[in-house]
Amino acid sequence: MTGGAVDQPPAFRAGLVPRRERADAARNRMQVLAAADRLFRERDPGTVTMEDVCRAAGVGRATLYRRYPDVQSIALALLDRHERDLQESLLRGEPPLGPGAPPVARLTAFYRAMVDLLERFGHLLRSVESGSARYGTGAYGFWFAHVRALLAEAGVAHPEQLADIALAPLSAELYHRQRTQLGLVPKEVADRLAWLAERLTG
């Protein structure tokens, strides 16, 4: 299967459980997320509409809007677990992804992990970023803080301003172009980014 945070009620994750999620609600939520994941994968993620998700999931409008205000938030829900996993690895995982390795190695490992994320969930990331909401998400803030810290540790001047530059090549839309239009394979993209990591922190 595709994977996704399909099996965890949002209320649980949020921490405040008013009562308990009803069985029919859970069933519908899983249908919605599964249908949405399929749609994002099949079409251009920017063209998927709430209406489409309703129909594909066999669910009424109110059911959908109850939990998700727009398609981006659906993609975000599907993405959430995987992004958190990577964030956990960055904070407390083994080096070189986690703490303990020199900045160059950690930045390179981060790039490789992000390419992996882009490869597996590029369709979701493109949907989230469409509408120019890339820099508003909490995830971007996390990547930004991580890279800024690595650059600072490497002794580079203006790490705050360079972090944005270091993250720019990880745009989902750019990755999609490199894969489809330029015909690159993931390893090539990752190797180029590894080279960039050396240049930035050297």
Q: Per CB under 8 A, which of residues 126..155 are in contact with its own copies? A: 126, 129-132, 134-135
Q: Are 54 and 60 in contact (CB under 8 A)?
A: yes
Q: Are 151 and 159 in contact (CB under 8 A)?
A: yes
In whole angstroms, what is the distance from residue 31 CA to residue 58 CA? 8
In whole angstroms, what is the distance from residue 151 CA to residue 58 CA? 48
Scanning 17-25, 34-42, 154-162, 175-183 for contacts with DNA by CB under 7 A, the matching segment is 17-25
Among 17, 85, 161, 187, binds its own copies (CB under 8 A): 161
Q: Is 66 among the residues that bind DNA (CB under 7 A)? A: yes
13 vs 22, which CB is nearer to DNA? 22
- Spell out, one character per residue from 90 to 129, where the chain touches its own copies: x when CB under 8 A holds, - when not: ------------------------------------x--x
Query: Torsion-angle region of residue 118: left (phi > 0), alpha (psi -120 to 50) or beta?
Result: alpha
In whole angstroms, what is the distance from residue 48 CA to residue 64 CA? 14
In whole angstroms, what is the distance from residue 51 CA to residue 59 CA? 10
Report which residue type is found at 94: E
Contact set with DNA (CB under 7 A): 18-25, 27-29, 49-52, 58-63, 65-66, 69-71
Contact set with its own copies (CB under 8 A): 46, 126, 129-132, 134-135, 157-158, 160-162, 164-165, 168-169, 171, 173-174, 177-178, 181-182, 184, 188-189, 192-193, 195-196, 199-200, 202
